[in-house]
Structure 1
Amino acid sequence: MEEKQTQARRKIIHIDMDAFYASVEQRDNPELRGKPLVVGGLPEGRGGVVATASYEARKFGIHSAMSSKRALQLCPHAIFVRPRFAAYKEASQHIREIFSRYTDLIEPLSLDEAYLDVTQDKLNIGSAIDIAKEIKQAIKEELNLTASAGVSVNKFVAKIASDMQKPDGLTFIGPSSIENFIENLPVEKFYGVGKVTAQKMKKLGLFTGADLKQLSLEQITGHFGKAGAFYYNIVRGIDEREVQPHRETKSMGAEDTFAYDLTTVEEMNAELEKIAKLVNERLLKYQLKGRTLTLKIKYSDFRQITRSQSHPDCFDDMQTIIHTAKNLLLTTDVENSRIRLLGITVSNFNIVEIKPLGISAQLRLF
């Protein structure tokens, strides 16, 4: 009981930007405002994938992860633009600065969403609802963008709440309302429950949180493994996860889906060099060095494989990354393949400790 009371005193805000990439594009280009806008791969050639869509485009059924060709079929007059990640990152950094005015307990999930623990806020405002209102207003005034907020006593409920009144919404779900709220929540709305798990639940006659609540811990873990224990607690309003301001980076990489299938080794190697350059730049930026490199290959029939190689020394220059990736490519049936995607990821990191006066960097394991 004491642990549950402690949890009830926690004040969590989940901020989720509204159609973030599309909103930045519409903000920066007045000609795009009020029009169905799709940010992502262009539909020409084989077509790419939708990263996000404006609310005008969503009315036609367009959503993220949909193929650009399908999006064009749903809305023939949609406008397609490629992502400008530098602009999105700049906006995200400004938003993070706004968050930091209220708390240092910030857990970013991506460029456009984050958890904030404002149990003890810097400005002594006290009310999480008032803090969420101020954050939303600051984002609107300083960036000309809108955000939706969910406020509750734990991360699970706050995240679901932020999606309930989009765009530009604010939803508060207090301690006394949580269990009833989750009992009435469809299982597909549970954060972390994907399509496959939702289908499995429905086949078992589990359609809402109330249905899940009828299962014993043994039953629910029998069906869903370790995740079952999480569901067992969540349907009872229990989520003790803390906001984690320092999330460990476990891997870093880049990948590209091509407009047309690659059919020759020369084409594949050329693309690998471009991807390796991006990976190397990101590793340098975050001062990371990894011992394991993984090559990802997706074929024209959507079959996907990975090949990995670990080194006793770290991958610390672009040529080593390129050479390793090309060698891994040759371990596959590359001569008779049509490839639609290639990716390179480096993992198994060390931290680089920068020494003063030009002394060579020393490595320390996590």
Structure 2
Amino acid sequence: MEKERIIFHIDINHCFAQIEEMLDPSLKDIPMCVGGDEEKRSGIVLARNLKAKEYGITTAETLRDAYRKCPHLRVVPAKYSEYIYYTSRVKDIYREYTNQVESYGLDEAWIDVTDSYHLFGKPYDLAYEMQKRVLEEYGLTVSVGVAWNKVFAKLGSDMIKPSGMVIITKYNYQDIVWNQPVEDLLFVGGKTKPKLNDMGIFTIGDLAQSNKSKLQKRFGVKGIEMWNFANGYDNAAVDANGYVAPPKSIGNSTTPPSDINSLREAEVILQHLCESVASRLRDEQKKGHVVSIYPRDTNLKSFSRQRKLQEPTNISTEILKVAMELLEDNYDFSILPLRSIGVHVSKLVDDVNIPKQINLFDSIEQEKTRELTIDKTIDELRERFGFHVVKRASALLDKETENFDAKNSNSVFPGRKKDYDLDNDNIENDILYKKDKRSQKIMEEYLKNKGEY
């Protein structure tokens, strides 16, 4: 008989804000959030503490809106090296009990203790022990979900914050899980929710008891996947030792220091973004069939447009050409400037053994080879000597963004993991270079300075 799995999902509550409170305890007594610099136009709430939550301040809203709710809000700049350091140390605690630890962003992790919990006592006592150790050793509260699968474990950790623990079993899951809103189920995002609501599906229980064939007809394979998740049919393994699944799309976005007032200004920003996306594609040894843009105007209204390519690419100039065509065809700068813009490449394939269509014009293939060689040369020079050693001429057109390293800059905000949506292939599992070489370097430098590396 197969042993029933015991899986924890542990989430550091309001992670960035809580680490700031741990470093400066006086911040616990005032409304505080971690946010960007409004003057540099990266002014959003990255995390907020419990005092700020009382004022209705939410993650990802603009600092301008947050100040309206709480004029005396204290905004603390993000310290990414600290967050990387402490979240890594917290996960080291988990790894003392099992090597089956899978990160889900900096602040969350799945832990499979099926084969090891008996060494430490009962599984639920072990979950409490981990929770207690994180608080005692680092002063951070965590919420824990315990279940026999990853989806329900994640759901459990989200239900009681801070310091909650929810245990979901095959005997109680209908009472606990099925009453929750359908959008609380992992991978059911904002775009899927209204479509499910239109089908009369409002709770996870509604989804679990709905007609599987109708879901498949409406959502395809993903409809079956949602139905399985709602019923607890999730056999996905917790990936050992931080294994990261191959990305399904790679992208980048930014809010520049000034509004984007013309197509020419947009091209300068897009050049940086497309270079970073193309470089990440090559790092992953991938090419993509679909290029998408995500503009947002100064009224904070956003939209997306995409185009499928005849042949997959990881060349920056090809990605830029399509992105510019999409923007020119779909946006009128005379109405409103843009506040931010993003580029994604999806429908990825391995950059090996890709069948090539024979081209009647050798010059086109020669041009592709030339552009790819330029991209790779720029990559190598920047890797060896730093980003500023080589720039394209177009970068010099805007002094404010001339030195913008889109690939490694912390001012580039990737799509949040909780925004992934089963209906959007461009966002689903958008890892955005999750291997995160720069974060590793930051942490190593931090530890070196601390004398611990």
Confirm or deny a common fold (TM above 0.5).
yes
CA distance in 1 between counterparts of 2:18 and 2:174 reads 34
Matched with 2:62 is 67
**Corresponding residue SS for 2:180:** coil
2:11 to 1, 11, 16: 16
What does the per-residue CA deviation read over 1:289-339, in whole Å, with 9 as the maximum and x for residues that have no partner? Answer: 554596745152534445798999976xxxxx5x66665565453997433
Task: With a CA cutoff of 8 Å and minimum separation of 6, indicate the structure with the bigger relative contact order.
Answer: 2
Rounded to whole Å, the distance in 2 between the matches of 1:209 and 1:138 is 33
Give the corresponding residue for 1:118.
Answer: 113
Shift of 1:27: 1.8
Question: How much has 1:166 moved relative to structure 2?
Answer: 0.8
1:13/1:128 contact within 8 Å kept: no
1:256 aligns with 254
Note the 1:118-137 alignment, pairs <5 A. 118-121=113-116, 124-137=119-132
- Partner of residue 95 from structure 1, selected from 90, 95, 98: 90
> Could you tell me how far apart the structure 1 residues matched to 2:210 and 2:284 are?
45
Other structure's SS at 1:220 match: helix
User: Of 153, 159, 169, which residue of structure 2 is paired with 1:158?
Assistant: 153
Kindly indicate whether the alpha-carbon contact (under 8 Å) linking 1:42 and 1:81 is maintained by their aligned counterparts in 2.
no
Deviation at 1:176, TM superposition (A): 1.4
Cα distance in structure 1, aligned partners of 2:186 and 2:312: 39
TM-score of the pair, normalised by structure 2? 0.63
* CA contact 1:291–1:310 (8 Å) conserved in 2: no
Partner of 2:295: 298
Q: Please, what is the CA RMSD of the aligned residues?
A: 3.6
More moved, 26-35 vs 335-344 = 335-344
Correspondences of 1:227-238 after superposition (within 5 Å)? 227-238=222-233
The one-letter code matched in structure 1 to 2:207 is L
1:204 and 1:143 map into 2 onto residues whose CA distance is: 46
Change beyond 3 A, Cα 1:224–1:325: closer
Structure 1 stretch displaced more, 24-33 or 87-96: 24-33
Deviations 1:263-295 (A, max 9, x none): 3577556645765787799789xx645545967
Deviation digits for residues 150-188 of structure 1 (CA, Å, limit 9, x no counterpart): 111111221111122210122212221123323323323
Per mean C-alpha deviation after superposition, the further-off stretch among 216-225 and 288-297 is 288-297
Partner amino acid, structure 2, of 1:35: I
Change (3 A) 1:196 1:326: closer
Partner of 2:375: none
Query: Which residue of structure 1 lines up, in the alignment, with residue 53 of structure 2?
Result: 58
Stretch deviating more after TM superposition (136-145 or 111-120):
136-145
CA distance change for structure 1 residues 214 and 47 in 2, over 3 Å: closer, same or farther?
same
How many residues are treated as equivalent by the alignment? 339
Listed as ranges, the matches of 1:214-363 within 5 Å are 214-245=209-240, 246-250=243-247, 252-263=250-261, 267-268=265-266, 271=269, 288-291=284-287, 296-300=293-297, 302-305=302-305, 331=325, 332-333=327-328, 337=333, 338-343=337-342
Give the Cα separation in 2 of the matches to 1:41 and 1:151.
34
Instruction: Go from structure 1 to structure 2 and tell me whether the alpha carbon gap of 1:189 and 1:268 turns closer, same or farther (over 3 Å shift).
Output: closer
Q: Which runs of 5+ in 2 are unaligned?
A: 352-453
What secondary structure, in the 3-state scheme, does the structure 1 residue paired with 2:183 have?
helix
